[in-house]
């Protein structure tokens, strides 16, 4: 039928037994049946119209409309393709995979997804009657994800091209208009301290931490630091995986409202947080992972793979989003290239080694991890690396049941943290919450209570309690 209509210059759309069907679906059916050239066989006989087949000439699809902060059609389609293809092993696999015929190969799956991409055109009210029934994903959900990816690429590309993001004398990426990186690290440490406290059933203290973190959201967003979005995405993924869905929703709504208050409607920063707030729960974690990947790719494109900013983004992305097995392989590959490109005392190489050692620990390869981490301890000039390394080594000792070594090493990290950042710094707070949890696990309630009192002194009562 299609070949005869093509010869007459007619476009064709089909329904088979009431279900909208494409010619690609039919060709895949023939392929599974071993008929490799169905067009040749069809050309040898006259087509007959069966009652179960409906055929008509479709109306033209409406042109996609883009706002000023969106990418052209081709780029947005590519962003959607990345969403559909990017499925790390430890993320929620999109539910459309369960609707595919198990006999279909990779080529068939990609053709099916390309068909799905075209369905997003039907989100216009003018085309509602052409929506395909039983669509695996609601078109609006895909459009929200597309707009998020487009907004990210528009914003970061514009920031690099206009010189808003620049490399400082130490080699780190900054925003020339920012109030500093303080809000990023304060927000990160308060959030993760709060999550650790919640995990240990210290709900009051955990609530205080997260309440104080919420107070930082305005400064975090207003700073437009190059790592702001990474920090926020990492928090939301962590909260979701821990099962704290309501807290994740609160932070999404808070960031959305704050961005609306701080930025004009057309500003990509406002668009990003608005779209994060609108993400469908079914797509949420997967979409955040792809959004993070968009940032990594943009950094690598503008700065190169071994810029401090690119390494920070990429190593954090890999360890937070990918499965432990995939993360270990990706970081090992990066380390091999880093050792070829960078000096052995380059702090960028130290960052890669630290991330790789952490990944080894998560895989239970503790001896290898400690060997790498002990190499990092010789770089006394890099205090932040030393503190993080001591914390990581203490975690290994804790995992293998070496209580004395774990406590001694973590206490060393706390002492250095207090000297570097101060007693009331969120980084110190995060380290103390970990030590308090360990002491409680070891049955040392009196010492745990002492640490808890120090945490209470740092946190003070929250606004709700007052």
8 A C-beta contact, residue 73 and residue 64: yes
**CA–CA distance, 371 with 278 (Å, rounded to integer):** 45
Tokens matching residue 13: 């759309």
Q: Which residues contact 15 (CB under 8 A, 6 or more apart)?
A: 21, 53, 54
CA distances from 12 to 3, 4, 21, 108, 282 (A): 10, 10, 11, 21, 34
Residue spans of the domains in the chain: they are 2-56, 67-96+140-178+224-322
Q: At residue 63, what are phi and psi to the nearest 5 degrees?
A: -70, 140
pLDDT in tens, the chain (466 residues): 787 777 777 788 888 877 788 888 887 777 777 776 665 555 444 455 566 787 877 765 433 333 334 444 444 344 434 433 333 333 333 333 333 333 334 454 444 444 444 444 444 444 444 444 444 555 566 778 888 998 999 899 999 998 889 888 878 888 887 666 688 888 988 999 899 889 888 888 888 889 999 999 999 998 888 989 999 999 999 999 999 999 999 999 999 999 999 999 888 889 999 999 998 888 888 899 999 999 999 999 999 999 988 998 899 999 989 988 999 999 999 999 999 999 888 888 989 999 999 999 989 999 999 999 998 887 765 677 888 899 999 999 999 999 999 999 999 999 998 888 888 888 888 899 999 999 999 999 999 999 888 888 888 775 666 6
């Amino acid at each position: 039928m299609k070949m005869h209509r093509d010869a007459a210059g007619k476009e064709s759309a089909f329904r088979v037994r009431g279900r909208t069907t494409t010619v690609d679906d039919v060709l895949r059916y023939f392929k599974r049946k071993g008929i490799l050239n169905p067009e040749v066989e069809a050309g040898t006989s006259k087509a007959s119209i069966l009652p179960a087949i409906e055929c008509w000439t479709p109306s033209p699809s409406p042109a996609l409309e883009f706002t000023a902060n969106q990418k052209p059609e081709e780029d947005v389609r590519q962003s959607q393709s990345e969403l559909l293809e990017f499925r790390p092993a430890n993320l929620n696999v999109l539910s459309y995979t369960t609707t595919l015929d198990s006999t279909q190969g990779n080529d068939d799956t990609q053709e099916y997804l390309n068909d799905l991409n075209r369905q997003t055109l039907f989100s216009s009210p003018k085309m509602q009657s052409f929506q395909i029934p039983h669509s695996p994903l609601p078109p609006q959900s895909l459009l929200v994800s597309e707009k998020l990816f487009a907004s990210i690429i528009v914003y970061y590309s514009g920031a690099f091209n206009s010189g808003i993001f620049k490399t400082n004398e130490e080699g780190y990426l900054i925003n020339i208009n920012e109030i500093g990186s303080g809000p990023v690290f304060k927000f990160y440490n308060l959030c993760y301290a709060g999550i650790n406290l919640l995990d240990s059933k210290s709900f009051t203290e955990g609530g205080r931490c997260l309440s104080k973190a919420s107070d930082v959201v305005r400064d975090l967003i207003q700073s437009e630091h190059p790592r702001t979005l990474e920090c926020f995405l990492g928090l939301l993924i962590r909260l979701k995986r821990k099962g704290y869905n309501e807290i994740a929703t609160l932070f999404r709504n808070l960031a959305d409202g704050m961005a609306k208050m701080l930025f004009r409607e057309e500003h990509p920063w406002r668009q990003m947080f608005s779209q994060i707030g609108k993400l469908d729960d079914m797509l949420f974690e997967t979409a955040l992972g792809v959004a993070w990947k968009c940032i990594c790719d943009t950094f690598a494109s503008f700065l190169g793979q071994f810029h401090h900013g690119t390494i920070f983004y990429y190593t954090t992305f890999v360890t937070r989003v990918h499965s432990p097995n995939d993360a270990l392989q990706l970081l090992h590959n990066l380390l091999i290239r880093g050792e070829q490109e960078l000096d052995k005392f380059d702090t960028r190489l130290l960052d890669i080694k630290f991330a790789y050692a952490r990944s080894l620990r998560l895989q239970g390869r503790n001896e290898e991890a400690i060997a790498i981490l002990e190499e990092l301890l010789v770089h006394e000039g890099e205090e932040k690396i030393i503190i993080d390394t001591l914390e990581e080594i203490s975690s290994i000792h804790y995992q293998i049941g070496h209580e004395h070594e774990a406590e001694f090493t973590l206490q060393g990290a706390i002492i250095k943290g207090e000297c570097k950042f101060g007693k009331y710094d969120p980084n110190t707070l995060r380290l103390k919450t970990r030590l308090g949890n360990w002491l409680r696990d070891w049955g040392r309630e009196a010492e745990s209570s002492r640490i808890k009192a120090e945490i209470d002194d740092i946190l003070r009562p929250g606004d709700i309690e007052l």
